[in-house]
Every structure is written in structure tokens, then in C-alpha cells.
Amino acid sequence: MRNRKISHTGILVSFVLLASSLFAGRAASAQGAARDTNGAYAWVDGAHLWFRIAGHGEPVVVIPGGPGDSHVYLTPWFDRLSKHYKLIYYDQFGTGKSDRAKDPNEYSFERNVNDLEGLRKDLGIKKWVVIGHSYGGMVAQAYALKYPNSVDKLVLSNTFYDAEMWQENDDNSNCEIRNQYPGLWAKLMKLRDEGCVSSSPQCQKLYGEVPAGLLYYYDAGNAAKVRTDPRGFNPQVYYRIVGADGDFLIEGDIGRLDFRTELKNLKMPVLIIAGRFDRIAIPRFSERFKEYCPQAKFVMFEKSGHLPFIEETRKYFQVVEEFLGAFSCDLLSK
């Protein structure tokens, strides 16, 4: 590993710190989906993807963040959508209860996008509402652009529109850590001087010492409300997709993404959500969604960080359900 000293840029602490409702099963698909007691498995592109369905009505799929996190941190918050919709949680390839790759090079952003379409087909759904949080919002954008006929409505929550925005958020996170935890920062710089990069086990251990409340919340006490997956966060997925030194320098698949010029072409209804105190998807960049996707409804949550569905739960789901319901009523009236 080449030793290089990198000046202060950015650390985007992954969802290692973030990481149910009733299961409504379905009959095994033609591909022979396996079952478990808390969900089922769809066979997509040579791998089992875990999913769970609750409720009835218009189908709504929720894409978790990371990359490398399972659906668990989204529960039980999104469960309330199952009162009026068919809610679908799932674990992306390499996360949660879904299959792991034998070779980390099998993990990719493109696969996450295509797997979502494979899951839709396996479930026999014609169109669905797609909700993506954080990294999941990037998957949602790419999915809506590539498979527009599969998306009824699109909700993008606390997410990014290109690699530059993700890099800026790395930089912002790094600044917060350096200023608030100088001792930890000094240890990290020493490791980097010795040739370690973000994906090195020693660095990952230090990142785990950064309190989630520093970066993710308006009220740091809300960090205690997040459920963590006993199977844990998968760093192989994370560093394969963001790059081996992705907490300082965004490369990998994320480094090639840029949706800015394409978002205006989305024809389905779009809702974009941001948090005023989000130090990951920071408002200085989030507000530019209004320029890149002017047809969307944009809502800033004034007392939230990166997870407004936890910090302003009632308002968050009121906004989401009003958005979904309003468009449903509009369609019925035509």
C-alpha cells in the first residue's frame, strides 16, 4: 500500500452506526423463491434477495442507504405506510439477509439498480412507488431514469445527485470530526501517515468511535432510537462502491455518478426531502435539487438531520402520505 499523506479532506462515516412489522407472505415465484419466518427470498441475477411485505394497496418499496446497510434502520418508522399501502422492505445484494458475493468485485451500483427491477418483476408488480434514503436515493434516481415505466411516484430522502456532492459531504464530515474529536483525528492521521486508507481495518475501527449524533441528527439523543442489524454493516459493499479510500476521496462507482442534467426529464411525480441539520447530505447542496429537478416538490425539515423520519416522524410521514395521496386523487379524478 503506497504511503501518502492526505491533507484534511473528508470522512463520510458509513452507516455502521445505523445499522418488525407484520409479514404478509406471498406464494413462491416461478423462480422458486425460498422462505424464512420473517420474509421471503426473490431469485434475482443469480442471488437470493430478502424482502418483506406488509399491508395492502399501492406497492411502495423502500431502498436503504449505505452502501452496505440493510433495511433494519428504516424500521419500525416506515411500517406506518403499511396502513394504506403495500410496503416492501428489502436488503440489497451483500446486505442483511440477502446473499453475499464470493468476490467483492460483484458489488456495484449498477447491480443495485438492476436488482431493484429484478425484484419488481419477481413480485409481479407493474408499477410501484419508489422511496430511496441516502445512498438508496441515488439508486432510486438511477432506477427512475433507467426504468421510468416501472415507477409510479418517486421520493428522494436526504440523498445526493452526484459525486461532487458526496465528496463535499465527506469534507464536511471530516471537518466536524477534526474539530470535535481532535484526539481521534490525530490517531487517524497517524494511521494514514503509515499508509492506511479508509477501508483499512484500523481506520474502520476508529470510524466506529465517532458518535452518530455528531453527523446524523439535529438532536444527538435520537441516535439511540435507531435499530441496528445484528448481521451488521458490510464494509466490503461500501468500499467497493465508494472506493477504497472513500471516506476521504470518492472514487469507485459513486465517483462516476452525476444525475444533475437528467433529473429534469423525470415525468413521474417527485418528492425531495432534506434536513436542515443534515451534516451528510448538507443543505447547501441539497437545495440545488430545486434547480436540477424543478418539477419536484421540495421539503426542508427544519429540526432534522440525516434521518427526518426519526426526528420529525409525524411531519415526515404526513408529507409523504399527502404527496402520495394527492397524486392518487389527481389520477382518480382524470
pLDDT value, residue 77: 98
- Which residues in the chain show pLDDT less than 70? 1-37, 326-334
Does residue 177 lie within any of the structural domains? no
Residues 42, 54 contacting (CB under 8 angstroms)? no
Please tell me the distance from the alpha carbon of residue 137 to that of residue 166, in angstroms, as a whole number.
Answer: 12
Domain of residue 51 covers 22-162+268-333
Q: Which of 73, 103, 105 is nearest to 89 (CA)?
A: 73
Half-sphere exposure of 110 (CA within 13 A, CB side): 6
Number of domains in the chain: 1
- pLDDT above 70 covers a percentage of the chain that reads 86
* CA nearest to 23, candidates 71, 63, 68: 71
Do 140 and 296 meet the contact criterion of CB atoms below 8 Å apart?
no
Q: Is residue 79 part of a domain?
A: yes
Q: What is the pLDDT of residue 129?
A: 98
* Domain annotation covers residue 326: yes
Does residue 14 form part of some domain? no
Q: Could you read off the pLDDT of 310-332 as tens digits, one per residue?
A: 999 999 999 999 999 954 443 33
Phi-psi region at 90: left, alpha or beta (left = phi > 0; alpha = psi -120 to 50): beta
Is-cis flag, bond preceding 64, omega within 30? no
Q: What pLDDT is attached to residue 308?
A: 98
Q: Identify the CATH number of the domain in which residue 46 sits.
A: 3.40.50.1820
The pLDDT score that the predictor gives to residue 232 is 86
